[in-house]
Amino acid sequence: MVPLSYYLVLSAVLFACGVAGFLIKRNIITIFMSIELMLNAVNLSFVAFAAQWKLLDGQVFVFFVMVVAAAESAVGLAIIIAVFRTRQTLNVDRVNLLKL
Amino acid sequence: MVHYLLFFIFAALAVAGAINLLAQKHPIASALSLIVVMGSLAGEYMLLGAEFVAVIQVIVYAGAIMVLFVFVIMLLNAGVEERSGRGSRVAVIFGFPAMLALGILLAWALIERNPANAPVGVGAMYGPARSIAQQLFRPYLLPFEITSVLILIAIMGAVVLARRED
């Protein structure tokens, strides 16, 4: 019987790793993966609370979060491909102009 | 006892994968450590009894989304990340201790002062696909239908954005 707070601490640690990766990484694909890590951390909180209160709504929300994450990653990776076509780089420090 | 052991094994794997994602320089290595994180999170979901979520975690996240990531990394031929400039000194001096202090405070608050510190009924298996589907197709029918529109828009957006402009 693992207490709820252990899951929440694990979720917070994973979320913090995602935020840190978002801030310190310079490769746009790795930044995008950090966002996915944050979404996963939140999903763990949802499932832990759903198990705590014996409600399935949390798991349904995880389902929706996954759907939105899938749509987001498809669009985001298409944007990354478009950025790479015009700039020839994946470094976010070099993508600092709205217009070429 | 077995549940504690499994929880800590999967938690250690997830945290190690997350830290490895930060430490690695090459995007492929980061992607593979993210797959480790997602797989161990699927194990945690299984411990919480959410078997449907665990299965779609493996299929959708570790399968579909990560294949998309790896595909794009290989398509763009992404190499080792280049560092540009030095980081801020203020961030090193104040940021990391502040982050550590906040993390310790948060963990203490969650573990010690949490009134809802009841044990989670692990392995109860109350979240099978059947009950999820009953939730999804009765009270959450409208959001479920809206997600199909969202996915359609995302598909069209991805095709339009990634198209070569000739």
The predicted model scores a pTM of 0.87
Q: Do B78 and A29 touch (CB under 8 A)?
A: yes
CB proximity list for A92: less than 8 A, separation 6 or greater: A26, A27, A28, A31
CB proximity list for B51: less than 8 A, separation 6 or greater: B45, B125, B127, B128, B129
d(CA A40, CA B50): 15
CB proximity list for A13: less than 8 A, separation 6 or greater: B15, B18, B103
> Is the distance from CB of B92 to CB of A100 less than 8 angstroms?
no
Q: Return the pLDDT at B113.
A: 64
Largest CA distance in chain B: 62
Write the pLDDT tens digit of every residue in B151-160. 999 999 999 9
Write the pLDDT tens digit of every residue in A10-19. 998 999 899 9
Residues 13-52 of A with CB under 8 A from B: 13-14, 16-18, 20-21, 24-27, 29-30, 32-34, 36-37, 40, 43-44, 47-48, 50-52
Write the pLDDT tens digit of every residue in B111-126. 776 555 555 555 555 6
Q: Do A17 and B22 touch (CB under 8 A)?
A: yes
Write the pLDDT tens digit of every residue in A38-85. 999 999 999 998 888 888 888 999 999 999 999 999 999 999 998 888
Write the pLDDT tens digit of every residue in B64-90. 999 999 999 998 887 776 666 666 777
Q: Do B111 and A25 touch (CB under 8 A)?
A: no
> Is the distance from CB of A4 to CB of A21 less than 8 angstroms?
no
What ipTM describes this predicted complex? 0.91
Q: Do A48 and B27 touch (CB under 8 A)?
A: no
d(CA B63, CA B55): 11
Contacts of A56 in chain B (CB under 8 A): 126-127, 131-132, 135
Q: Return the pLDDT at B70.
A: 92
User: Could you give the angle at which helices A57-87 and B66-75 cross, rounded to 10 degrees?
Assistant: 10
Domain B2-81+89-127 indexed as CATH 1.20.120.1200:
yes
Q: Specify the fold of A4-94.
A: Helix Hairpins (1.10.287)
Residue B62 Cα, gap to closest chain A Cα (Å): 11
Give which of A81, A69, A60 is closest to A41, Cα–Cα: A69
- The answer, for B3 touching chain A at a CB cutoff of 8 Å, is yes
